[in-house]
């Protein structure tokens, strides 16, 4: 076979009939139908409209329960306008359809870059590749980063800025509700994040001729505080619940919310950062757009003092988010127990 110098998966595999060997997972680590939960019970869909009226406490209870049991929930009536969502999905699609030479202007394999197009997860450290290209953008504070973003398609910066500003508004409401559901002051989590950070990824999963051999993303937890995921109409996301994978199939105009490792730490293990993965599709490309909300690098993260007592000692030591984040990119997605390395050591 001729050698190729293609950097991005979409260009490398256009028209291939077989998954290249470096994308094939060992047999014990492939999407396996017997591991999939086909019962009806999916992840809760919570109506956020209720936060503003007499149902407020009920919605807070629903959020708290979902955070304790699944670490995942879906939201509707979330306040992000449908037009903003549609523009975001369309501009992402247009970006990944640009000619290779145009997309490659944003390419970098350096995970410390604030704006970069890359492939798989971390091609410098991983042994098996993932069936994904992604554009990663830092987006808060917006004015610090927007000038670095792609300027093609021409409305990219405007459409993405509108989306991420609105997504941030949703995250801030969720942070208040989650603080309240933990019995903390409503601004507790907001104030625990230093100057705050917001990143997003535009994930592009090309059609895959043998989806049973590989992953778009293998099982991983999110390193950040909370993720709000927008997905197009192609299924692929699965969440681990009681040892089985549960699909979260797309519902138009809703978001999937999941807690990341930092929320598990702040909640002193009351709330969970849960494994999830993305499968790929034989016929269809798929786009998903996670907004990763995070502490600023210098923020010191640890369990909320109010959640520590004799019966519930602090489960984690204090650390800076920069420390945690650096270790995440170094050790890779296959490290399922990064949180354990920040636990208070037991005698
Ligand atoms: O594509 C998805 O549905 C999940 C994406 C994800 O987990 C991630 O980007 O970390």
CA distance 323 to 109: 20
Q: What number does the ligand 1 atom closest to the CA of 201 have? A: 9
273 lines ligand 1 (CB under 6 A): no
For residue 36, name the pLDDT band (cuts at 50, 70, 90).
Answer: confident
The residue-averaged pLDDT of 30-37 equals 81
Q: What number does the ligand 1 atom closest to the CA of 205 have? A: 1
- Give the Å distance between the CA of 308 and the centre of ligand 1: 32
CA distance 13 to 20: 8
Residue 315 above 70 pLDDT? yes
State pLDDT tens for residues 70-127. 999 999 999 999 999 999 999 999 999 999 999 999 999 888 899 999 999 888 888 9
278 lines ligand 1 (CB under 6 A): yes
Residue 137 above 60 pLDDT? yes
Whether pTM > 0.85 for this model: the answer is yes
Among 273, 297, 289, smallest CA distance to 114 is for: 297
Q: What number does the ligand 1 atom closest to the CA of 276 have? A: 7
State pLDDT tens for residues 49-72. 999 999 999 999 999 999 999 999
For residue 340, the model assigns a pLDDT of 92
Question: Peptide bond before 266: cis, by omega within 30 degrees of 0?
Answer: no
168 lines ligand 1 (CB under 6 A): no
State pLDDT tens for residues 183-228. 999 999 999 999 999 999 999 999 999 999 999 999 999 999 999 9
E strand map for the chain = 45-47, 72-76, 115-119, 133-140, 197-205, 217-220, 226-231, 237-241, 244-247, 255-259, 276-278, 286-294, 300-301, 319-320
Q: What number does the ligand 1 atom closest to the CA of 248 have? A: 3
- Give the Å distance between the CA of 217 and the centre of ligand 1: 7
Q: Is 339 helix (H, G, I), strand (E, B) or coil?
A: helix
228 lines ligand 1 (CB under 6 A): no
Question: Peptide bond before 153: cis, by omega within 30 degrees of 0?
Answer: yes
Residue 42 above 90 pLDDT? no
Each domain of the chain, given as residue ranges in start order, spans: 32-342
The Cα-based distances of 54 to 57, 152, 180, 293 in angstroms read 8, 46, 16, 29
**Closest C-alpha to ligand 1, atom 10:** 222
- Give the Å distance between the CA of 345 and the centre of ligand 1: 31
Please provide the average confidence, as pLDDT, over all residues in the chain: 94
**Closest C-alpha to ligand 1, atom 4:** 278
Q: Quick one: tokens of 45? A: 């869909």
- Give the Å distance between the CA of 278 and the centre of ligand 1: 6
Q: For residue 169, what are the contacts with CB-CB under 8 A and spacing of at least 6?
A: 79, 80
For residue 35, the model assigns a pLDDT of 79
For residue 41, the model assigns a pLDDT of 72
276 lines ligand 1 (CB under 6 A): yes
- Calculate what percentage of the chain has a pLDDT beyond 70: 96
Q: What number does the ligand 1 atom closest to the CA of 134 have? A: 9
Residue 171 above 80 pLDDT? yes
Instruction: Determine phi and psi for 305, rounding to 5 degrees.
Output: -55, -35
Residue pair 152/91 in contact (Cβ under 8 Å)? The answer is: no
Rounded to 10°, the helix 156-181/82-96 angle is 130
201 lines ligand 1 (CB under 6 A): yes
Residue 156 above 50 pLDDT? yes
Q: What number does the ligand 1 atom closest to the CA of 236 have? A: 3
- Give the Å distance between the CA of 30 and the centre of ligand 1: 17
For residue 347, the model assigns a pLDDT of 46
For residue 202, the model assigns a pLDDT of 98
For residue 334, the model assigns a pLDDT of 60
The yes/no answer on whether domain 32-342 falls in CATH 2.40.10.120 is no
203 lines ligand 1 (CB under 6 A): yes
Q: What number does the ligand 1 atom closest to the CA of 132 have? A: 1
Pick from 20-29, 77-86, 118-127, 245-254: least confident: 118-127
For residue 266, the model assigns a pLDDT of 98
Q: Is the dihedral of CA 205, 211, 214, 220 positive or negative?
A: positive
- Give the Å distance between the CA of 41 and the centre of ligand 1: 21
- Give the Å distance between the CA of 271 and the centre of ligand 1: 20
């Amino acid at each position: 076979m001729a050698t190729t110098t293609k950097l991005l998966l979409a260009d490398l595999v256009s028209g291939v009939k077989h998954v290249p060997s470096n994308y094939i997972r060992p047999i014990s680590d492939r999407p396996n139908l017997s591991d999939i939960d086909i019962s009806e019970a999916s992840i809760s869909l919570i109506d956020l409209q209720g936060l503003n009226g007499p149902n407020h406490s009920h919605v807070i209870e629903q959020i708290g329960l979902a955070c304790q049991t699944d670490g995942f929930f879906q939201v509707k009536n979330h306040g992000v306008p449908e037009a903003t969502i549609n523009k975001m999905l369309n501009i992402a699609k247009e970006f990944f359809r640009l000619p290779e030479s145009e997309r490659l202007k944003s390419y970098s394999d350096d995970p410390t870059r604030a704006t970069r197009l890359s492939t798989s997860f971390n091609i410098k450290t991983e042994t098996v590749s993932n069936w994904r290209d992604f554009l990663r953008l830092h987006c808060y504070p917006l004015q610090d980063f927007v000038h670095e973003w792609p300027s093609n398609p021409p409305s990219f910066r405007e459409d993405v800025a509108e989306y991420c500003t609105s997504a941030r508004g949703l995250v801030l409401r969720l942070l208040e509700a989650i603080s309240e559901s933990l019995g903390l002051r409503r601004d507790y989590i907001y104030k625990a994040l230093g100057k705050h950070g917001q990143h997003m990824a535009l994930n592009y999963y090309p059609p895959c001729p043998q989806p049973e051999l590989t992953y778009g993303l293998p099982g991983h937890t999110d390193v950040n505080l909370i993720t709000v995921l927008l997905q197009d109409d192609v299924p692929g996301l699965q969440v681990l619940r009681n040892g089985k994978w549960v699909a979260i199939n797309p519902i138009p105009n809703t978001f999937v919310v999941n807690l990341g490792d930092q929320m598990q730490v702040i909640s002193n293990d009351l709330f969970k950062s849960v494994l999830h993965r993305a499968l790929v599709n034989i016929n269809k490309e798929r786009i998903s757009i996670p907004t990763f909300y995070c502490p600023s690098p210098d923020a010191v993260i640890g369990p909320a003092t109010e959640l520590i007592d004799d019966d519930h000692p602090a489960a984690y030591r204090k650390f800076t988010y920069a420390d945690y984040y650096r270790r995440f990119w170094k050790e890779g997605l296959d490290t399922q127990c990064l949180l354990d390395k920040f636990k208070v050591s037991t005698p």
